[in-house]
Amino acid sequence: MKLTLGFSPCPNDTFIFDALVNNKIDTEGLDFDVVLEDVETLNKYALQEKLDITKLSFPAFFQVLDKYALLNSGGAMGKGVGPLLISKHEPGIHASEIEQKSIAIPGINTTANLLLSFAYPGAKNKVPMIFSEIEDAVLNGRTELGVIIHENRFTYQQKGLHKVLDVGEYWEEKMNLPLPLGCIAIQRTIDKITGLIVDKLIRKSIEFAFGNYPLVGEYVKKYSQTMSEEVMRHHIDLYVNDFSLHPGKEGKLAIETLYKVYQENNKQYAPMYQFSMFEHED
């Protein structure tokens, strides 16, 4: 059986899926047709129901709950992992000023955008762009502020940019929960047995990767562009953790809480949806 599988070329995703897609573990008769794209492109693909299994941001997942089910393994969640709001100038901007400024965001459907709205509900002048372009957009004045994710957390200071707010820390302080950033979801038309196998294989792939860590595999390096191995490891250390193996009760509560924030932000008050095909599992 062949399934389409989408994830990003970022080190955390290639680290997670390396063993699975490169036959380093037994895939139990499943084959995967891999699609590598940035997360906002994957979000849009999910809205189009384009892929069987995909990485996507939680706000995008919340929009396709009737089409996709959450897998336990492979997601990005934790503490100290959130997006940063940055500026070319020294911090000290009042919230009311921030809400009037132009802000580069890594996509409308991203968790970063939802968290920006959570921290600054009045911020409306948002400019979506590829996450890797945001630092330069702020530096060259295309936008006054920017919300950065991924490896840009480790590079913005070197470029003379300044942190205005860690919107992930803001979430953690307000909710006292880890921050759910992204997840792996599978189309609900795929049978549950296959879904269980895929979930198990992703977990095995992560365990294989951790079993060889801190070695950074060639698959990770291949798609890391100009990143140093140190930055790759920082990236992996930040975004791949125990929550990537299984969200557990705390992680599930964090997802449910983020869903309520999403509903409030979008003025949608639908009842809580069954996220996963594995609700009976702890």
CA–CA separation, 132 vs 29, rounded Å?
A: 37
Burial of 158 (0-12, 13-18, 19+ CB in 10 A): exposed
CB 115 within 8 A of CB 82: yes
Which residues are part of the catalytic machinery? Answer: 150
Distance (Å, rounded) from C-alpha 118 to C-alpha 113? Answer: 9
User: Quick one: 249 exposed, middle or buried, by C-beta within 10 A (0-12, 13-18, 19+)?
Assistant: exposed
CB 47 within 8 A of CB 39: no
211 three-state secondary structure: helix
Q: Give long-range contacts, CB 8 A cutoff, 24+ apart: 216-222.
A: 216/11, 216/15, 217/15, 217/18, 219/14, 219/18, 219/21, 219/22, 220/11, 220/14, 220/15, 220/18, 222/14
- Per DSSP, helices labelled H in the chain are 11-21, 39-47, 58-63, 95-98, 111-119, 134-139, 167-175, 192-212, 218-222, 229-239, 242-245, 248-265
Inter-residue contact 5 to 54 (CB < 8 Å) = yes
In angstroms, the CA 207 to CA 26 distance is: 13
Local structure of 151: helix, strand or coil: helix
